[in-house]
Amino acid sequence: MKEILSMDQVSFSYHVEGEEARKAVDHVSFTVNEGEWIAIVGHNGSGKSTLAKLMIGLLFPSEGNVNLFLEPLTEENLWEIRSRMGIVFQNPDNQFVGSTVQDDVAFALENNGVLFEEMVTRVHESLQKVNMADFLDHEPHHLSGGQKQRVAIAGALALRPELLILDEATSMLDPQGRDEVIRVVSELKQETGLTVISITHDLEEVLLADRIIVMNRGKMLKVGTPAEIFADGEELERIGLDLPFALKVSGLLREAGLPLDGEHMTEEELVNELWTSHFSK
Ligand code: ADP
Ligand code: MG
């Protein structure tokens, strides 16, 4: 397995005048391998965005190391390393620079000196990947939230990144927009093996990830597969996280005396068990 990113005992404090230093990230260590989809969850203020900024070199750790593509991230290699990753932020309206969808996607390519023909190919290719190929000449601000974020993802993809980082890219979207973006990311992962790190509150998205990192007050509380992470639902609720709907319902049914085997992460799993072991007799 090829390592894409690792955090090695990383800490970061904000220094606000007249206040004690605020430790936003506290001795966090984890590794992300090529082709993985990692979801980072945690309550507001738990350090997720700070972690994302450390990953892209907008901030540098006060302790520990951030390694990308097996190299420690430094001020010297920052631009070279950043050219190998794509980043999409929360607010779809703050990320447009072009007056049409295709200009917007082409913008970063132009800045990187990509030749015109190559640029046209890449713009089409990346808009196709996010199912927005029919919108080349549309004005970005007339698109729906989900469409805007998909164009933002296309802009990132056009640079052919090895790592895509999403910081709450779906949190300002309506349910349909959210579904569109999540579908596109899972297709990308399946078709291209792109490595994705996604900070999110969306439980549907979290359940699709290969591994989940749970942040709590700047510390990494745990890391594991969705099944491992949601095995202790009460602990997650204690730190202010929501649980998948099916998991909540199966907990309530169990409390009410219905014997259920195992955990149910999706409604389908729950319905299947209810159907086969309780209603079909
Ligand atoms: P999250 O993304 O999980 O909501 P953040 O990384 O934004 O968390 O914030 C972690 C902690 O750092 C919080 O206590 C927050 O108030 C503080 N913080 C974040 N950004 C700044 C900043 N620019 N200056 C001072 N404190 C900050
Ligand atoms: Mg944040």
The per-residue pLDDT of the chain, averaged, comes to: 91
CA of 155 to the centre of ligand 1 (A): 27
pLDDT for 281 beyond 70: no
pLDDT tens profile 142-160 = 999 999 999 999 999 999 9
**CA dist list (Å): 126 to 131, 168, 177:** 9, 21, 18
Identify the helix (H) or strand (E) that includes residue 88.
strand 85-88
What residues contact 29, with CB distance under 8 A and at least 6 apart? 6, 7, 8, 9, 10, 64, 220
Amino acid (1-letter code) at residue 203: L
Task: Write the single-letter amino acid at 116.
Answer: F
User: Is the distance from the beta carbon of residue 22 to the nearest atom of ligand 1 less than 6 Å?
Assistant: yes
pLDDT for 241 equals 87
Residue scoring higher pLDDT (65 or 272): 65
Which atom of ligand 1 is least distant from the CA of 218? 10
44 CA: nearest ligand 1 atom: 4
For residue 15, the ligand 1 atom closest to its alpha carbon is 25
pLDDT value of residue 257:
87
Q: Using one digit for the tens of pLDDT, what is the confidence trace for 211-255? A: 999 999 999 999 999 989 988 888 888 888 888 888 888 888 888
**CB of 48 shorter than 6 A to ligand 1:** yes
* Alpha carbon of 221 to ligand 1 centroid (Å): 17
In angstroms, rounded to a whole number, what is the distance separating the alpha carbons of residues 214 and 266?
A: 20
Per DSSP, what are the bridge partners of residue 33? Answer: 3
Ligand 1 lined by 94 (C-beta under 6 Å): no
- Give ion ligand 2 contacts, CB < 5 A: 48-49
CA nearest ligand 1 atom 16, residue: 45
Is ligand 1 within 6 A of the CB of residue 149? no
Burial environment of residue 196 by CB neighbours within 10 A (0 to 12, 13 to 18, 19 or more) = buried
**In this structure, what token pair is assigned to residue 78?**
């920052």
Instruction: Give me ligand 2 centre to Cα 97, in Å.
Output: 23
CA of 44 to the centre of ligand 2 (A): 7
| Most informative mutation of 13, 15, 19, 22 for ligand 1 (most atoms within 8 A of CB) | 22
State the pLDDT at residue 108: 82
Q: How far is the CA of 133 from the centre of ligand 2 (A)?
A: 30
**What letter represents residue 246's amino acid?**
A
CA distance 24 to 48: 9
Annotate 123-142 with b (16+ C-beta within 10 A) or e (fewer): bbebbebbebbebeebebee
C-alpha 44/C-alpha 39 separation (Å) is 15
Residue 109, pLDDT above cutoff 80: yes
- Alpha carbon of 250 to ligand 2 centroid (Å): 30
The string over 211-250, giving b where at least 16 C-beta atoms fall within 10 Å of a residue's C-beta and e elsewhere, is bbbbbbebbbbebeebeebbeebeebeeeebebbebbebb
Helix, strand, coil shares of the chain, percent, nearest 5, are 40, 25, 35
Residue 95 has pLDDT above 80, yes or no: no
Three-state SS for 154? helix
> 88 and 108 in contact (C-beta within 8 Å)?
no
- pLDDT at 280 > cutoff 70: no
